[in-house]
Structure 1
């Protein structure tokens, strides 16, 4: 598929989806979000084992594109925000781990994008903000992903003040997994995604879906759900192969994804 706002490349076992509208600071226009969603679904059906979400230009993403929205009516705004939610949900619905490679500032829905990814590695030059708190339009939808990554007080500090936090603070607060110098960003992103995708693809797929299903459940319900998933997973060929390989002290031979 040919895209206007993004690029999709495949290398070895990974796919890279790159936001590629630097003149607009990779703003998430309606068209851009539709393209990202379509690309994620394409990657989800591919043989790729992992996904890197990256960006070109001076910003990772400036969030929603106000040029789309200024003066827009309520119906359009509902459509745009639902499109954004579908894009975010798709990141967590596809079977592959998705890692955000954040080289620069990520604000509002751009920060939401980082918070939604399964993993994130940030450059020391990156920063993160939900600036609606100091403007006229509160970052209510970015709040959903942000508040599921960092504690209440920290989320509310970002949301109410709108002030940016640097990459080290984002790491300490749990928004990103790693912070590295810019020249190490690609290397560390590949290393972490490589570690996250080793072993059985099918096991990871089930595990990722189970994680998002149980994370908001009360603990007793979460355990009941997890027991059923893990019991069912024990019957899969890869689970049986992993157990047998352990007992036989050999390297497991997991099924390849076609």
Structure 2
């Protein structure tokens, strides 16, 4: 049984997938250490569950406003080195999870939440959602975002997103192929579940193998 020690991350496991719901809606699910630790604990516990689909979403109208501004407002790397190390490991655990991971982007995916989406197999956005990686505005150079975006969208779009720190709308995200689908706000989680269910009809070991192949960016297959 998968468990987590904080009420700021809620879990719901069905027969075919696990749902992880960020649960700090009054703060737009802005991430704090307990939530990062919770995500790390969950993905560590399921790291050997071949084929297990995972849905990441949030309570309320916004999936996540990124890292809490009180954390990134100062010298983030100097003040929170352990938190950053855990966050980097969360990105890696999501990318290497041996089953499909989908994120339902309601309202906004900001900062760390947007970077999490880069590691997911499926990204479903609401048609009113925005996407932004504003780390540059806080004096933070995200190596993870730069590495992922350079591979996913190329140098110029990556430079725009990282150097300006400005938000883009859901349609632009889709045009850059950073989103799988854009749907009405009330359909976001349902569409993400549909994608996971479709993958769930296939052989678990084959799905795991394909995810491993997809993660060989730049390597010989």
Query: Which TM-score band applies after superposition, normalised by the shorter structure?
Result: 0.7 to 0.9
Deviation at 1:139, TM superposition (A): 4.3
Q: Which residue of 1 aligns with 2:142?
A: 140
Distance 2:76 2:131 in 1: 29
Distance 2:140 2:48 in 1: 36
Q: Which residue of 2 aligns with 1:129?
A: 132
> Could you give the per-residue CA deviations for residues 226-246 of structure 1, whole angstroms, max 9, x where no partner exists?
3xxxxxxxxxxxxxxxxxxxx
Listed as ranges, the matches of 1:78-89 within 5 Å are 78-89=81-92
> Could you give the per-residue CA deviations for residues 204-253 of structure 1, whole angstroms, max 9, x where no partner exists?
112212321x2132xxxx0xxx3xxxxxxxxxxxxxxxxxxxxxxxxxxx
Q: Does 1:117 align with 2:120?
A: yes
Listed as ranges, the matches of 1:108-257 within 5 Å are 108-133=111-136, 135-141=137-143, 142-212=145-215, 214-217=216-219, 222=220, 226=221
Deviation at 1:105, TM superposition (A): 0.8
Q: Which residue of 1 aligns with 2:58?
A: 55
Does the 8 A contact of 2:51 with 2:100 survive in 1?
A: no
Does the 8 A contact of 1:54 with 1:60 survive in 2?
A: yes
Distance 2:200 2:155 in 1: 31
Q: Which residue of 1 aligns with 2:34?
A: 31
Q: Does 1:12 align with 2:11?
A: no
For the aligned residue pairs, the C-alpha RMSD in angstroms reads 2.1
Distance 1:113 1:166 in 2: 17
Name the SS for the 1:3 alignment partner.
coil
Distance 2:101 2:147 in 1: 18
Distance 1:183 1:176 in 2: 17
Deviation at 1:168, TM superposition (A): 0.8
Unpaired stretches in structure 1, ≥5 consecutive residues: 227-258
> Could you give the per-residue CA deviations for residues 77-122 of structure 1, whole angstroms, max 9, x where no partner exists?
3222211110000102221110111111111111101111121111
Does the 8 A contact of 1:69 with 1:77 survive in 2?
A: no
Q: Over alpha carbons, which structure has the higher Rg?
A: 1
Unpaired stretches in structure 2, ≥5 consecutive residues: none
* TM-score normalised by structure 2 residue count: 0.88
Distance 1:116 1:28 in 2: 17
Name the SS for the 2:104 alignment partner.
strand
